[in-house]
Structures are given as structure tokens and as C-alpha cells.
Amino acid sequence: STVGVIGLGYIGLPTAAILADHGVTTIGMDVSERNVTAVNNGEVPFVEPGLREVLERAVSSGALTASTQTPVADAYIVAVPTPFTDTHSADLSYIEAAADGIAAKLSGGELIILESTSPPGATEHMAARILAARPDLGPADIMVAHCPERVLPGKIMEEMISNDRIIGGLTPAAAEAAKDLYSAFCKGEFLLTDARTAEMAKLTENSFRDVNIAFANELSVISHKLGIDVWELIELANHHPRVNILQPGPGVGGHCIAVDPWFIVDAAPEQANLIRTARETNDAKPEWVLGRIEQALEASGEAPTVALLGLAFKANIDDLRESPSLHIAEKLAQRAPDAKILAVEPHIQKLPAPLEQFGNVALTELDEALERADVLVLLVDHDVFKSLPKSRLGSAAVIDTRGIWR
């Protein structure tokens, strides 16, 4: 049997490569001609440890091919983006486009799995859209399930195989069929439920983390006001057997935790108060950091030099999506035109587009930044920054948003 994987991004490509590497005939589909060509050449269009080897094997064995057309297949996995709109509701247009492509290829009896993180009801919506396009088919002619991905970028190849999987079927038979498909490579436990619960479970996991980080971020603002070291505070509190507080930082970034809780808020706006407040708390953190930087700049006299260490959304990656650090850099460049801003990000080679337009920002080597800065702002806890001896910080005013130089 043949599996079609729709969307060859961070999730779809590893899934397709691993499926094919386990002997399943797999056809990947992506709207980007460039991605498709790269995949057919066994090349990975983004950074993910371990993916290249598996992809090369899958392509050279002939088990994996890619195309810009939706293939005819026995089962489909949809792994397309679900961004959010300006009003914080989910944009289902990529899922709808995938559904339309699949609908045109069905002959009845196929399994269709939605993996994209989705608001409650999206799987039903996808099924309804497919059936609306194919009046010759009835609900009993297709099997539809939601199986959210939960892999951590940077560890995708491991977690894809070892993580437990929640599978929510529109019918129990659809959930069973999806379980059979994932059994080809997944060694984790399979947890079968209905589609809405599966959708909500994924959103709940990321909201749990967001709420916990918001708690830490609020504690850091309170502690700063009270003259208390928040990292010591959290470390002490976490010695309690039933307390486990996460770490404060300059805000929450990435394409998951900063997005998914909004889908819950959008689905139940009157009820989701804590979840909304957590999102707002985390989104407000970059502004608070900016305030501290502006204070430090004022104190250091005319035309000060400020070094921003880290632009990525978290440690040891090159991903800038929804990055609070990048946001801080951009806002600072706008608001402090007299300051010289040295951005240090060892994982990228050129200044990212949002910063290019500012004449007062330069991408700088760490050594040079340390030498020149009047104000040093630590934004990302990359290993290269963590391993700096304190003596290297010199006489600069230090704002350490991650607590690595305490």
C-alpha cells in the first residue's frame, strides 16, 4: 500500500522519510517546487539532526519520491501549517487546500490522517470538505483521524519513533487504521480517542507549558521589583516535591507554544481566561525587557553600544520564528536610533530581513561585541554564551534575561 504525505516541512518530511525507511512506499507532496526537487535529490531543506541520513536512504532505495501533485494513495497524512490570523483564530486554508487535493484522488476506502496542530473541530471540517467535493462518496467511504505531532525540533528523528501517539478517529475503525499505519515505525504507546479530544490534547500540552512559563515570567517581574533573584527563588521552590516551575526568559517564541493556546481561547473565549492571560503575560515580556534596556542605555550616556546576545527563539537552534529576541532587536533599533546595536547570533550568517533596514544594527562576532558593548543583553541561552567566563563580560552593564551568568 502507498502513503501520501501532504506537506514536506518540519514534520511532514521526517515522517515521510521514516515511513519510507521502514519499507512503506511513500509519496511526498509539497507546493514548493524547490522543496520537492531537494527531497528527490535526498537533500534536506532545513536543519534537523539525523534527518539527512534517513532521507538519503529512503530516496536511494526508491521507497520515497516527492511531487508537487497530490498522489493517488491508500492513506494520506496531512502535515501542513496552521498559522493564526490577526484576530488569533486558526487559519485552516492550508488544510482546506490539502483536503481539496486529496478529494480529487479518492476512489473510496482511503484513510486520511490530519497531523497538523488544529483547533477543535478541524478534523470534522476537513472530512466535511472532502465529502462536499465528492458527492459520489459517503461518510462510510473514507476513514478520517487526527494524530497530532508532538516532536521537539532538534530531536525529531528520535521522538518521532519513541513518543507515545494520541490518535483520535472520527470513527473507532479510523483510529484503528491509523494505529496500524504508525505501527510501521512508532515504538511508543498508542492512545486511541475521538478526534476532538485528540485536537484538544495537543493544544492542552502546549498551553500547559505556556501557562507554566507565564508563571515563571510573572515571578521574574515581581522578583525584579522586590530585589530578589528569581532563578534562586525558583530553584528553592522546586525543591518541594510537588512544585516544578519552568524558567523565565525574554518571552515565548516558536511556532507552537506561542500559537496553539490561542486556538483554545478562540474556541471558548468566555471560559479560557487563565490560558489567555498566560499568553498575554508571555507576549508582554519582550516589552518589559526593552524597558530595562532603555534604562540601561540612558544611564550609559551618549551614543551607547549595546550587544544583544542571541536572536533565535530558543537555545542552540537557528530558528527565528516568532522569536522574542528578534522582536526586541527590531523594536530597539526603531526606538534607539542613536545607539549602536551589535546583534550576536552564531547560528546564522547574515542579518535577518526584519533587521536589514536599520542602519544602526550589525551582525557581530561575540568577541567583538564583548569588547565594544556598554550594555550587554543576554537573550538566548546558547551553549556558547553559557560557557563564557564571567571575566569576559568586562565592565558592561549586564541584563541577563535567562539567568545564565548569576
Of the residues 129, 179, 279, 314, which one makes contact with ligand SAJ according to CB under 6 A: 314
- Catalytic option among 147, 179, 186, 202: 202
Whole-number Å distance between alpha carbons of 302 and 145 = 61
Least CB distance from residue 313 to ligand SAJ, whole Å?
A: 4
Reference 149, options 58, 63, 78, 76; nearest CA is 78
Cα end-to-end distance, the chain, whole Å: 57
What is the DSSP-derived secondary structure letter of residue 227?
A: T
Among 40, 171, 223, 247, binds ligand SAJ (CB under 6 A): 247
Choices 40-48, 63-71, 243-251, 330-338; region in contact with ligand SAJ by CB under 6 A = 243-251
Residues of span 81-140 touching ligand SAJ by CB under 6 A: 117
The stretch among 184-192, 247-255, 361-369, 392-400 that binds ligand SAJ (CB under 6 A) is 247-255
Residue closer to ligand SAJ, measured from CB, 117 or 281: 117
Q: How far is the CB of 401 from ligand SAJ (least distance, A)?
A: 9
Q: Is 256 a catalytic residue?
A: yes
Which secondary structure element, helix H or strand E, spans residue 76, and what is its range? Answer: strand 75-78
Residues for the chain: how many in total?
A: 406
Find, among 360, 367, 359, the residue nearest to 384 by Cα. 367
The helix/strand/coil state of 228 is coil
- What is the rounded distance in angstroms from the CA atom of residue 279 to the CA atom of residue 193? 28
- Tell me: does residue 275 bind ligand SAJ (CB under 6 A): no
Q: How do 165-169 and 143-146 pair as beta strands? A: antiparallel
Q: How far is the CB of 182 from ligand SAJ (least distance, A)?
A: 16
Question: Stretches 43-51, 171-179, 241-249, 294-302: which one binds ligand SAJ (CB under 6 A)?
Answer: 241-249
Alpha carbons 314 and 382: distance in angstroms, whole number: 8
Minimum distance from residue 213 beta carbon to ligand SAJ (Å): 5
Cell of 175: 483510529
Residue 191 backbone phi and psi in degrees, to 5: -115, 105
- Centroid of chain to Cα 146: 19
- Given 147, 179, 186, 256, the catalytic residue: 256
CA dihedral of residues 230, 231, 233, 234 (deg, nearest 10):
110
Asked if 283 touches ligand SAJ (CB under 6 A), the answer is no
Cα–Cα distance, 179 to 147 (Å, whole number): 9
CB of 375 to ligand SAJ, least distance (A): 22
Of the residues 6, 252, 306, 370, which one makes contact with ligand SAJ according to CB under 6 A: 252
Cα separation, 182 vs 113, in Å, equals: 11
* Cell numbers for 45: 531543506
Phi and psi for 231 in degrees, rounded to 5?
Answer: -70, -40
Question: 135 to 164, contacts with ligand SAJ by CB under 6 A?
Answer: 150-153
Tell me if residue 202 is catalytic: yes
Could you tell me the smallest distance in angstroms from the CB atom of residue 204 to ligand SAJ?
9
Kindly report the number of other CB atoms within 10 A of residue 335's CB atom: 12
Residue 297 binds ligand SAJ (CB under 6 A)? no
For ligand SAJ, which is the closer residue by CB, 45 or 81?
A: 81
Query: Nearest approach, Cβ of 1 to ligand SAJ (angstroms)?
Result: 27
Residues 183-222 interacting with ligand SAJ (rule: CB under 6 A): 205-206, 209, 213
Does 14 interact with ligand SAJ (rule: CB under 6 A)? Answer: no
**Which member of 161, 221, 246, 284 binds ligand SAJ (CB under 6 A)?**
246
**How far is residue 118's CA from residue 92's CA, in Å, rounded to a whole number?**
8
Exactly one of 18, 103, 234, 257 binds ligand SAJ (CB under 6 A); which one?
A: 257
Beta bridge partners of 226: none
340 binds ligand SAJ (CB under 6 A): no
Contact flag: residue 300 with ligand SAJ (CB under 6 A) = no
User: With respect to ligand SAJ, which residue has the nearer C-beta, 117 or 305?
Assistant: 117
Q: Is 165 in the site for ligand SAJ (CB under 6 A)?
A: no
**What are the two backbone dihedrals, phi and then psi, of residue 102, each rounded to the nearest 5 degrees?**
-70, -45
Tell me the three cell numbers of residue 383: 551553549
| Shortest reach from residue 289's CB to ligand SAJ, in Å | 12
Name which of 63 and 230 has its Cβ closer to ligand SAJ. 230
Cβ neighbours of 317 (radius 10 Å) = 16
Q: Site residues (CB under 6 A) for ligand SAJ? A: 117, 150-153, 205-206, 209, 213, 246-247, 249, 252-254, 256-257, 313-314
Residues noted as catalytic = 202, 256
